[in-house]
Amino acid sequence: MWDTVQHEPEQVAELLATGAVQLVDVREPYEYDAGAIAGAEHLELAKLNEAWERLDPQRPVVFYCRVGARSAMATEAFRRAGWDARNMAGGIEAWVAHGLPLASPDDVVAPH
């Protein structure tokens, strides 16, 4: 697979709570609209080349998707470009499975 730096969902929650990372959701718009992690920036994977300027290159960035494959691709692309980029292992499904909250209580994980 890829040589990706990964964090477990609990680690991402801690890093996000302290402001140590930027969290980026690379899923499709309908997936993001159904439910997302509070504080995440939505930059769809297919349009990441157009929107990366919205991120701070001086701060670490953690990417996530539904299960971790798309975000691993984004992580590797950003790492090759010199960024401190990481992937959230297991994606938003792992986040929810670990009992971590979504942006609102009614949010769900949309199928891909």
Active site residues: 65
Q: Which residues contact 52 (CB under 8 A, 6 or more apart)?
A: 43, 78
Measured CA to CA, the distance from residue 98 to residue 28 in angstroms comes to: 23
C-beta separation of 82 from 60 below 8 A: no
